[in-house]
């Protein structure tokens, strides 16, 4: 089989390519934009069959690219910068491109698994895959929401076509994210900050939340990959399940917990939050004005649909997953 992975040199895409390799699959067409050339490092240890620049790939789609050799598409390519203000770029990259690729996949009967985002929920406090829960706060979230709406219409109006499966990623962290700069995970930034300054800076309280107690559903990229491959293998085996699924742990944990896990893993100690604050290893800075009204202070994936679809494996906690991530970075240093 040959699998197309878009965004293959990105964070989640490169982890998927590596996992496919580990499962014995090397017939992979990697699609990405290496204008930011350092991203190649994410796939230098991976085996692929071919590489296509994103623009070249789009041209081939528009020119009638054959889908005969393709058995599945893992569409991870997107602009994930939630602070991006160029709406035209965001919609072209995240919506139009995705819609074109989905149409091509359906035309050729190819299973299509793609990256959505928890950003579609905005400031809502219920994170369930329903229209009533969705109100994105930025154009990134809107671009993901609009494509999800396209998928919903397709899934509800058609029968017997290839599966279309979307994953609403919550706060993903883990290896191969170093190129993401400011959009890298909280764990990534905490690690770098502590190594450089001997402390981690968190936001003070805002919107009713105490300092560092804002909480997110932090999910390890290890678990994200496992869920993708679970649904991929089912689709390749003939399972026709389609739909949009939350992909988080179902557990909200605080920024304080992430910082504590990072510091304790680096120092190989078990220090309480109170002790870390007392020792000024965790400090609090004013909440940025630029983020007010655009910030999710709480996210927690409702996993009802994911579990009902058959995925039963446990997810790593922050304490487990961040420790593994930090130890991997320490080993690689």
Q: Which residues are catalytic?
A: 140, 180
Q: Which residues pair with 50 in a beta bridge?
A: 29
Six-digit token string for 248:
């988080």
**Contact criterion met (CB below 8 Å) for 259 and 268:** no
User: What tokens does 232 get?
Assistant: 């991929």
**Residue keyed to tokens 């689709």:** 235
Which DSSP string do the residues of 152-220 spell out, in sequence order?
A: HHHHHH--SS--EEEEEE-EEE-SS-GGGGGGS-HHHHHHHHHHHHSSEEEE--BTTBPTT--EE-EEE
Contact 158, 242 (CB under 8 A): no
DSSP state for residue 284 in the 8-state scheme? E
- Cβ neighbors of 19 (< 8 A, separation 6 or more) are 225, 229
């Amino acid at each position: 089989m040959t699998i197309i992975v878009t965004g293959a040199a990105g964070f989640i895409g490169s982890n998927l390519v590596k996992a496919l390799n580990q499962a014995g699959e090397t017939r992979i067409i990697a699609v990405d934009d290496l204008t930011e050339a350092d991203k190649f490092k994410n796939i230098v240890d991976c085996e692929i069959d071919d590489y296509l620049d994103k623009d070249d790939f789009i041209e081939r789609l528009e020119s009638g690219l054959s889908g005969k050799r393709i058995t599945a598409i893992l569409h991870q390519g997107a602009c994930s910068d939630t602070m991006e203000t160029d709406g035209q770029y965001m919609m072209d990259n995240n919506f139009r491109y995705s819609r074109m690729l989905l149409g091509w996949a359906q035309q050729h009967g190819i299973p299509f698994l793609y990256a959505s985002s928890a950003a579609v929920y905005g400031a809502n406090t219920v994170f369930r895959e329903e229209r009533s829960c969705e109100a994105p706060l930025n154009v990134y979230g809107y671009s993901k929401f609009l494509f999800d709406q396209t998928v919903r219409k397709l899934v509800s109006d058609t029968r017997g076509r290839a599966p279309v499966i979307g994953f609403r990623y919550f706060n993903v962290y883990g290896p191969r994210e170093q190129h993401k700069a400011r959009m890298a995970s909280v764990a990534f930034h905490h690690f770098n900050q502590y190594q450089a300054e001997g402390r981690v800076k968190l936001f003070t309280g805002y919107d009713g939340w105490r300092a560092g107690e804002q909480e997110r559903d932090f999910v390890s990229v290890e678990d994200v990959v496992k869920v993708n491959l679970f649904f991929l293998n089912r689709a390749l085996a003939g399972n026709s399940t389609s739909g949009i699924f939350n992909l988080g742990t179902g557990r909200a944990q605080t920024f304080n917990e992430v910082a504590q896990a990072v510091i304790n893993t680096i120092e190989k100690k078990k220090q309480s939050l109170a002790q870390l604050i007392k020792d000024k290893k965790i400090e609090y800075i004013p909440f940025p004005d630029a983020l007010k009204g655009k910030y999710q202070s709480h996210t927690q994936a409702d996993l009802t649909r994911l579990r009902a679809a058959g995925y039963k494996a446990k997810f790593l906690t922050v304490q487990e997953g961040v420790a593994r991530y930090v130890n991997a970075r320490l080993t690689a240093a």
